[in-house]
Chain A
């Protein structure tokens, strides 16, 4: 059994991954209300809306919660222990989960931290993934 950690890319989410390849964060928006949403849908999840358009958003946000992996569940990430995942409320209103490097270090993103979501390729040939990095004041 393959242990690839590649995401499924298809017609519904391709703008997100095309943006990733360019280092841009592109999310679906409700055309009627202008609100960003996640995950991708062919129809706006907001009752007043229907049509969907994709637009770039500001990759800044605030960490709402985070976890730290103390044991491996995937070969692709086993060498990165301990690593974290942060749930980030983007300033545009949507929430995304992102990888966190070395979560035990002082200043690592945790609940309440202001962060930027950056695209990083962690392994050669692998997909770009979102990594939450603290915004330094």
Chain B
């Protein structure tokens, strides 16, 4: 039995993305849900499943969402208050509709950061994560001064550049490319022009990570409606979920590094090209990297996009900094990526903004940033989780 093709995305919706401490996270979730329902031509009564990515206090829990927004579901699930579980949440919804536990599932990411400090700072509810037993979720060790997710990303980037003898300034190609895409995206939060010179001039946060390597911490919500494929209608412009894989975890995994290279006890052994091209999501969908017309990658910090190109076989281990140059990942390039601007320039929505963009692209509704003849899209992250989406 395969999950491939059993579930389709039939509706997408999003709230506005401005930072506003006065706006309830439930208001954002409601806007996203009703937007997705209107997009799908459905009423709330058609929804019998709810999969939530972020709960309270950063978001809203599944029970609050259901009672507040008037949903009556028989299948609900929820993951933790960080990112990382985007594809997993959507996979849960696909599994639920494929197995008959539900017919249509609303997947919701609703997150408000404007009244919180940055993660790692004392006025943030996640302050104590840096003291999590056996290390914080991004390698934090608060007692030695290693706070903030940025630190682990900086350490992994230094390790990567030392391992391969690469110039870290080449990384600027990622935020610069995604900013150019954001300038074509009406609801992107950061739309000022950005050049490599701007990137080199921006201030350091934790060396070797700079300000423009960090995503925009903001507010917003996205809703996707996952339907049993057989219930989808032509009017819904459905996008089929043909390949999925959840996030991986092991001693070889570090969430802000490529598989095998991180700030913990990773061996340094990277995936070879055959292994990367054999990723389970490719195999489930029956596609190769060459078939991917539009790519969305997790980019809460710019190095994560770099490693993702390598771990999914778009280029070899250690080749990414050279590979991303010369417009390769831009609109019109060989591998157009994060066409809405990603977390770096569109909005920090844990990647849900990118998945929404992939649906928009496959429907041919992306306007000035439309990739021509986009038929196959992929969501891929450095955690190993992935979605392959295809236009029906």
Contacts and interface: CB of A to CB of B under 8 A. Distances in A.
A6 interface: yes
Interface in A22-64: 37-40, 45, 64
A70 B251 contact: no
Interface string B18-46: 00000000000000000000000000000
A69 B206 contact: yes
A75 B122 contact: yes
A71 interface: yes
A81 B315 CA distance: 38
A120 to B, nearest CB: 10
Interface stretch (B138-146, B271-279, B346-354): B138-146
Contact of A73 (B121, B143, B203, B204): B121
B134 A39 contact: yes
Interface stretch (B9-17, B154-162, B189-197, B358-366): B154-162
A135 interface: no
Contacts of A129: 143-144
Interface string B96-135: 0000000000000000000000101111000100110111
A77 B142 CA distance: 10
Interface in B196-215: 203-209
B264 interface: yes
Contacts of B133: 8, 10, 12-13
A21 interface: no
Interface residues of A, number: 41
B144 A85 contact: yes
Interface string A73-109: 1111100100101010000001101110000000000
B122 A66 contact: no
A44 to B, nearest CB: 12
A65 B122 contact: no
B159 A87 contact: yes
Interface residues of B, number: 38
Contact of A65 (B130, B147, B162, B264): B162
B120 to A, nearest CB: 4
A111 B131 contact: no
B265 A95 contact: yes
A111 to B, nearest CB: 5
B155 A94 contact: no
A19 interface: no
A67 B148 contact: no
B162 A111 contact: yes
A60 B261 CA distance: 22
Given A67-B207, A70-B205, A85 B265 contact: no
Interface of B: 118, 120-123, 127, 130-131, 133-135, 139, 141-148, 151, 154-156, 158-159, 162, 203-209, 251, 263-265
Interface of A: 1, 3, 5-8, 10, 12-13, 37-40, 45, 64-71, 73-77, 80, 83, 85, 87, 94-95, 97-99, 111-112, 127, 129-130
Given A6-B131, A6-B143, 14 more contacts: A3-B122, A3-B127, A7-B143, A64-B159, A67-B158, A68-B204, A70-B207, A73-B148, A77-B147, A85-B146, A85-B155, A97-B155, A111-B162, A129-B143
